[in-house]
Amino acid sequence: MRAAPPAGKPCVQGVAALLLAWLAMTSPHAAAQPAPPALDAGAPVVSLWPNGAPGSERRRAELEVIENTYVHNVNNPSLTVLRADPRHANGAGVVVIPGGGHRMLVWINEGVGPAKMLNRYGVTAFVLKYRLAREPHSTYTIEGDAAADARRAIRWVRAHAAEYGVDPHRVGVMGFSAGGELVSLIADNPAPPIQPVDALDKLSARPDFQVLVYPGPLGTPGKAIEGAPPAFITAGSIDPCCATPALQLYDQLRHAHVTVELHMYADTDHAFNLGVHSERISILHWPDRLADWLSDGGWLRADNGAARSGAAPAPAP
């Protein structure tokens, strides 16, 4: 048994603990700490630009910051890789783009959680940390920097497809809210000219299919709808932000003869995530509708990418 400190002499450890607690309460960054590895579910994290993202030169040494499960201060864009179980992996890959109003990343509910959901369908997921244009003192832009991160993510997955067992012709993108805006910007709008920084930038940044979950208005209507990738769109019918963009994009894609499916949920507002906190059965099962759409479109078939690229189909197992 540890002896108690002599009367009148406080325990050194106790004083240290009180001091740390006082510093935590008085610090302006009391709730802001570097993101712990647990947020990435122990998954590997890869940098999108080995030499740093263009335009982030002055901020590369800054650490990412977490408040609760929300990620801030992203200056080194990256992908967190959650691989499908090899026993049922089918070669499809999806870049998952969390929302958060371009002020933060809703990392668990709109990032890691959906990635694990996709894993159950045999899809390998790559969760994107992109630069945030609307957090205080940000020097980034949505159309410039955040969209560049999303395009780079698609290129990176295609370049490393063989390493992760992914078909480079079945690389999709899935975005929530602000992440849905980035999906539309890279899938339904023209890519701006860039100065390539390496060979990876010569690959196509347009995804093979797009999934938009209560997408924000930026990027809609699309300016390069002809030939846009097939789309799955879902939103709540009473969402004041994002019901209208979902309807507008659906109508635009439909009139352009792009394969598109829309699910609008009655009496449902914004940010229903995967539906686990909703009392509505329909919301709880919206990921099943996505799985149906992916299956109907052939995206979960191992030979689908070869067929789309004109190559010979892979032999049946």
Provide the pLDDT for residue 305. Answer: 62
Provide the pLDDT for residue 58. Answer: 87
| pLDDT mean over 270-279 | 89
Residue 119 and residue 125: Cα distance in Å, rounded?
A: 7
Query: In the structure encoding, which two tokens stand for residue 117, read together?
Result: 């959901």
Provide the pLDDT for residue 42. Answer: 83
Q: What is the pLDDT of residues 9-64, one digit of tens each?
A: 444 344 344 333 433 333 333 334 344 445 776 899 999 998 899 999 889 889 99
Residue 12 host element (H or E): helix 12-26
Residue 63 and residue 65: Cα distance in Å, rounded?
A: 6
- The greatest distance separating any two alpha carbons of the chain, rounded to the nearest whole angstrom, comes to 83
Residue 123 and residue 84: Cα distance in Å, rounded?
A: 6
Provide the pLDDT for residue 307. Answer: 55
Residue 221 and residue 316: Cα distance in Å, rounded?
A: 41
| pLDDT mean over 291-312 | 77
Higher-confidence residue of 3 and 85: namely 85
- Is the predicted pLDDT of residue 278 greater than 90, yes or no? no
Q: Among the residues of 47-146, which ranges form H helices?
A: 113-120
Provide the pLDDT for residue 38. Answer: 54
- Is the predicted pLDDT of residue 96 greater than 80, yes or no? yes
Residue where the block lists tokens 């108690």: 4
Higher-confidence residue of 35 and 73: namely 73
Architecture of domain 62-308: 3-Layer(aba) Sandwich (3.40)
DSSP string for 18-68: HHHHHHHHHSTTTT-BPPPGGGGTT--EEES-TT--TT-GGGTTSPPEEET
- Is the predicted pLDDT of residue 132 greater than 90, yes or no? yes
Under a CB-based contact definition with an 8 Å cutoff, are residues 274 and 118 in contact? Answer: no
Higher-confidence residue of 120 and 304: namely 120
Percent of the chain residues topping a pLDDT of 90: 75
- Is the predicted pLDDT of residue 197 greater than 50, yes or no? yes
- Domains of the chain, by residue range, sit at 62-308
- Is the predicted pLDDT of residue 2 greater than 90, yes or no? no
Percent of the chain residues topping a pLDDT of 70: 83
